[in-house]
Amino acid sequence: MTLTRSIAHFTAGLAGAALLSASLSAQARELSVSTVLSDAFPWGQAAEKWAELVEERSGGELTLRVYPNSQLVSGDQTREFSAMRSGLIDAAVGSTINWSPQVPELNLFSLPFFIPDEAAVDAVTGGEAGELVFEAIESRGVIPLAWGENGFRQVSNSRGPISQPDDLDGLKIRVVGSPLFQDTFSALGADPTQMSWTDAQPALTTGAVDGQENPLSVFDVARIDQVGQEHLTLWNYMNDPLIFAVNQQVWQTLSEEQQTLLRETAVEAGEWEIAMTREEEGERLAAIQERGVTVTELSDEQYQAFVDATQSVYEKWAPRIGEEVVEAAQAAIDAR
């Protein structure tokens, strides 16, 4: 072999190695994932589980980096969907409540006293109504992949037990930034006060607000009883499913294999998180009671009184959500 040919082979080898390296680099992809809560909560654990499954099964070619506590939207959880739609965030495990300002159909799950139990949640998310909701999300530039669960939201306060609508009269209740929440608590005679969760905890401590509403997991992990919330009512007034989703443009840049991987792992992580959240409910409730919190459980008649008191809210919001979606959900609930 001549010196010229040797040099040519060597050069070709270097070029081939460079191309291989570039190819491998191009294949390796990291996506940002936003969540509102850290992995101290089931919500954050859902995102971490998704990231873990993706890394394991992609061999490191695709990774998810989780950013908890709404870091990617400067703490404003209601901006998460818009940020994902615009491409500032690649993916998210988000709340139907927080995304509802941009996707009105998601208010379905916030209709007061509409979805009564876990079987009803599963019937809605797993049926036609769930498909319509996912179609609504996708029409706004985001690809929904799977369901998770933040759980039923319960109400607590520092004044006394709540077992009938009159017990809420005049109570200042911290609520998330949703007009539907404002309408619901106003209909019950309360004084709904919108604020972020960061602002809510000191407001509860000082008595600037009397109460709040959140799932048991948040009440337990955040030790809300330590900020004066001595009375807790289990009323299941609304459910907050979580949704695993990806920006549409990011989704289109992924290979078919990567898309399948992301969807399958999201479904698996969601099923894992839903089961865990539900299994831990009893243990969390017992721990809350052991810390001295008075827990009120409603009878069927007491529950119906709250349904009746918020009927006007249902009538106002059902058309905004979409009659087709609401009717499909009602049919699923009735047939469960």
- Contact between 127 and 256 under an 8 Å Cβ cutoff? The reply is no
Domains defined along the chain, listed by start: 30-335 (3.40.190.170)
Question: For the segment 180-206, what is each residue's pLDDT rounded down to a tens digit?
Answer: 999 999 999 999 999 888 889 899 999
Residue 26 vs residue 58, higher pLDDT: 58
In the block, tokens 């070029």 appear at 15
- Cα distance between residue 198 and residue 214, in whole Å: 14
- Contact between 20 and 228 under an 8 Å Cβ cutoff? The reply is no
Question: For the segment 59-118, what is each residue's pLDDT rounded down to a tens digit?
Answer: 999 999 999 999 999 988 889 999 999 999 999 999 999 999 999 999 999 999 999 999
Record the pTM: 0.90
Question: For the segment 138-157, what is each residue's pLDDT rounded down to a tens digit?
Answer: 999 999 999 999 999 999 99
Number of residues assigned to the chain: 336
